[in-house]
Structure 1
Amino acid sequence: MADRNYAYDPVGTGAPVNLQSYRMEAGQLWRQYVIAGIANIAIVSIGYCMGWTSPINTKLQGQNLTDSPLPAPLTIDETAWVGSLLPVGAIFGPFIGGLVASKIGRKWGLLSSAIPLFVGWILVAAATNVGFLYGGRVFWGIAVGMLCTVSPMYCAEIATDDVRGALGSFLQAFITLGFLLVYVVGPFVSYSAVAYVGVAFVAVFAISFYFMPESPMYYLIRNDRESAAESLMYIRGRSRAGVESELNEMAAHISASMENTATLADVFRGSNFKAFYISCALVFFQQFCGINAVLFYMSTIFSAAGSDLDPSIATIIIGAVQAVASMMTPLVVDRLGRRILLLVSTSGTAVGLGLLGMYFLLSERGSPAVSSIGFLPILSLVLFILTYCWGLGPLPWAVMGELFPIEVKAVASPIATAFCWILSFLVTRYFEPIADTVGMYVAFWLFGVCCVAGFLFTLFLVPETKGKSLPEIQDILAGRKSKPEKA
């Protein structure tokens, strides 16, 4: 039997090459960060789209329509639909993204998301009635669903084990950059200028990512080993011999995974179902921690605290807090692990929501203590945002990209992602009437209870994937002991 540590020289001399001597070839780690960063320019774009309503609603609702393309101000109901139709589009986007990623590749799946983004911006820029805005938000939502499915898949497949968590955390970090950008630009430029910046970002992504490599795993799935090798050499910054060992491991993993073509029924079997329910539970806790409701009521919370800050400036401050907090996660996630950050995040958001609920309870009952704790809503909000961005925001996507085996990922990830956006629509559309019925403090406390449940779920059921290879993660889910790597 041939020695696994040797292979024939890929240059073609026929001489055997000792692969062991190449395993320590340094490579260029920065390449993974740059490639993932360029891929996530699209994520900045969808953050910009998602935060668009914050500065634009003011322009569309005011009686002075000099900076509105609409013939009349938006009604309360129209405003609610403009806000909630993006999640509706995002429900369908994952299935489109998953299909495209499996048929034409992860790279082209990401690039194809530029199409609904461009269509959305054209509709918004050319709007003459609210129907254009509805259409634009739905197309943006389709792009959001596509990107939230394909981007974690792509980042997980190009990453080495020691940085996979960091690259998977890019999604939340880059989304918050998009939010911050629209918060900074939107209030101070015209309606049309906001759209032009949005179009420019999509163009920058499409042009720059065109020159990035396809996932080597996708090439191996297509039995194109040479293209996979070239892609891996580019991503790792190593020679052909330097990537041969990793390429062999990838090929063996894919060969074992692709013995059977995955169907929908396979998602609900064995370790696949465990990966599926963990992914769905994490996105449930992500949405039902109430992030969208808290952001929607940010101005109300600042007003309750008696803040004299202009709402636009207050929003920029919170956007900056989000961005800084989200940038911290990629730096520490591969040192501390996913579980500890999720535990810190769920406990921190629960405390923040509990304090917010307590303040609104005292306020609604006219307690004299309210005047002496005016700082509490802002403190609670900052605590909530910080801890959300450390764990609940980025890590469900990162973990989802790691848990599913290759053959199941294209089937299961779209379902889990669509489930996330169904929940997002429900929270965005119906939080206000529910809060009006039961009281704001009850609504915040219910979200807090969900965060406590998320803490317990993470503590007992979420496996630690830090530093684990994709095959090792499958062994953990299946309850198998991983085989030690041969020297």
Structure 2
Amino acid sequence: MADRSYAYDPVGTGAPVNQQSHRMEEGQLWRQYVIAGVANILIACLGYNMGWTAPINSKLNKTDESPLETIPTSDDLAWMGSLLTIGAIFGPFIGGFAASKIGRKWGLISSTIPLFIGWILVAVAKTMAYLFAGRIFWGISVGMVFTISPMYCAEIATDDSRGALGSFLQAFITLGFLLVYGIGPFISYMAVAYVGVAVVALFCVLFFFMPESPTYYLLKSDRDAAADCLATIRGRSRAGVEAELSKMEMEVKASMEKTATIADVFRGSNFKAFYISCALVFFQQFCGINAVLFYMTDIFDASGTSLESSIATIIIGAVQVIASFITPFVVDRLGRRILLLISSCGTAIGAGLLGMFFLLSEQKSPVVESISFLPILSLVVFIVTYCWGLGPLPWAVMSELFPIEVKAAASPIATAFCWVMSFLVTRYFPTISSSLGMYVGFWIFGVCCVIAFFFTLFLVPETKGKSFQEIQEMLGAGKQKQEKV
């Protein structure tokens, strides 16, 4: 009987090749998940920073726990919450520049600088001005990372796993929220800062050993470095990644034939990718997620539950984490569109029911007592379905739709637009709700979710399992080239 541990090599030299080695050449595709996971530790840091106000606001109102010389007003706290989004509006342009000049890897590492500056300001704060400045610096980092991280994850992923890696953003940001929700109420103001700094430092140490995006090296015409990176990411030899590298090289060369400008973003298939991306991040913000999180305590109080608000917040944070980690496992099986449709439908139902409950509550309807469970049920439905689609997928889809040469120009604009919308919601929703009624705000969000459903149904392309070139052809780039010829 022939020894089955050997097989002849495919190029016909006749030399026996160990079959185990041949199988290893299939690669270790789990590596891309580990690398993306390490990259997204920084996303968890941002979640920690974004959720920092939840436990800190109450500490600032207590003279024995606050580092400030005076107790802040409610308006001070509202501005402190919203100023992060102001910084995030400018961060994407810094991030896009860094990604193109020093690379995706070092762009992400450099985005920790504003984080550290923000933590220093928070640690030495004696007045609200320090906290305002710290939140703005954190926002700059948020804008940088939300621009570079989806780009990095999309460029290291295989076509079949790009959706899963893109979904890591929402999953890891909820881990950051849960961490600050879980420890913030029970440790001191300074201890919260020490933990935040430690997590950022952990990212810097671990990510230092991770590879650069092969696409970046190809853009710099360094094929050898790109091959080494891709071999590391795929767990294959240089020969084993040659076919994929050649395909990537063709796409990059095609993109380098012209230099994209801001004006190119608004032309042809690029503009289609741009308005789809902007619409998705608009729906992400105007589905009402920040308003729901902002009013979480009020929602629990309205339900009549005996749970303390800090414990209730931890429970909701845990629900977010569980729901968010479902998406990476199913997004490349079910596709982006079906999850976006489910998400927009679920958030519409959740926002609509919350609006109905608060209307009945405002009218002092006797029905309220019998449906006291409704706010919590609506909240869970809303957050779970948000985490399945509208939370993670706009970023994943954005990273897939733009051609390589346009990403550096288009992604910062779309990301900045997202944070402008976030600022409008976080800063002015409380004012609108107090003047018109909370139910009006939630119903507005519900209508936006319904519009998101139909927008996705008719205009968002399915990118599951498709290469970047195939996606561009879906958007009409191929047709435009034929017309030019």
User: Which residue matches 2:27?
Assistant: 27
CA distance in 1, matches of 2:319, 2:359: 26
* 2:265 partner amino acid: V
Alignment of 1:52 onto 2:52? yes
Kept in 1: contact 2:163–2:396 (CA 8 A)? yes
User: Which residue matches 2:466?
Assistant: 468
The runs of 4+ residues in structure 1 deviating greater than 2 Å are: 21-25
Residue 459 (structure 1) aligned to one of 441, 457, 460:
457
- TM-score, normalised by the number of residues in structure 1: 0.93
CA distance in 1, matches of 2:272, 2:188: 49
CA distance in 2, matches of 1:273, 1:153: 18
User: Which residue matches 2:233?
Assistant: 235
User: Which residue matches 1:109?
Assistant: 107
The one-character-per-residue Cα deviations of 1:214-267 (angstroms, maximum 9, x if unpaired) are 000000000000000000000000011100000000000111111000000000
Residue 72 (structure 1) aligned to one of 65, 70, 73:
70
* 1:43 partner amino acid: I
The one-character-per-residue Cα deviations of 1:429-465 (angstroms, maximum 9, x if unpaired) are 0001101111111110000000000000000000000
* 1:99 partner amino acid: F
CA distance in 1, matches of 2:403, 2:25: 28
Alignment of 1:157 onto 2:155? yes
Residue 386 (structure 1) aligned to one of 384, 387, 394:
384
CA distance in 2, matches of 1:140, 1:27: 38
User: Which residue matches 1:396?
Assistant: 394
Kept in 1: contact 2:105–2:212 (CA 8 A)? yes
CA distance in 2, matches of 1:276, 1:97: 18
CA distance in 1, matches of 2:276, 2:423: 21
User: Which residue matches 1:425?
Assistant: 423
User: Which residue matches 1:484?
Assistant: none
Residue 280 (structure 1) aligned to one of 278, 281, 287:
278
Stretches of structure 1 lacking an aligned partner (at least 5 in a row): 1-6, 16-20, 482-487
State the percentage of identical aligned residues: 73
CA distance in 1, matches of 2:347, 2:372: 20
User: Which residue matches 1:249?
Assistant: 247
User: Which residue matches 2:177?
Assistant: 179
* 2:53 partner amino acid: T
What is the SS of the residue equivalent to 1:392? coil
1:221-370 alignment, distance < 5 Å? 221-370=219-368
Q: Check 1:22–1:106 CA distance in 2 against 1; reply closer, same or farther (3 A cut).
A: farther
CA distance in 1, matches of 2:255, 2:77: 47
Q: Shift of the alpha carbon at 1:25?
A: 3.4
User: Which residue matches 2:375?
Assistant: 377
CA RMSD of aligned residues (A): 1.9
Q: Shift of the alpha carbon at 1:30?
A: 1.1
Q: Shift of the alpha carbon at 1:23?
A: 11
CA distance in 2, matches of 1:460, 1:325: 26
CA distance in 1, matches of 2:274, 2:215: 21
Q: Check 1:352–1:415 CA distance in 2 against 1; reply closer, same or farther (3 A cut).
A: same
* 1:174 partner amino acid: F
Q: Check 1:120–1:22 CA distance in 2 against 1; reply closer, same or farther (3 A cut).
A: same
Stretches of structure 2 lacking an aligned partner (at least 5 in a row): 1-9, 16-20, 480-485
What is the SS of the residue equivalent to 1:169? helix
What is the SS of the residue equivalent to 2:389? helix
* 1:381 partner amino acid: L
Q: Shift of the alpha carbon at 1:480?
A: 4.5
CA distance in 2, matches of 1:23, 1:245: 17
User: Which residue matches 1:446?
Assistant: 444
User: Which residue matches 1:42?
Assistant: 42
Q: Check 1:155–1:23 CA distance in 2 against 1; reply closer, same or farther (3 A cut).
A: farther
CA distance in 2, matches of 1:34, 1:122: 30
CA distance in 1, matches of 2:25, 2:415: 37
Kept in 1: contact 2:344–2:386 (CA 8 A)? yes
CA distance in 2, matches of 1:389, 1:73: 35
Kept in 2: contact 1:23–1:245 (CA 8 A)? no
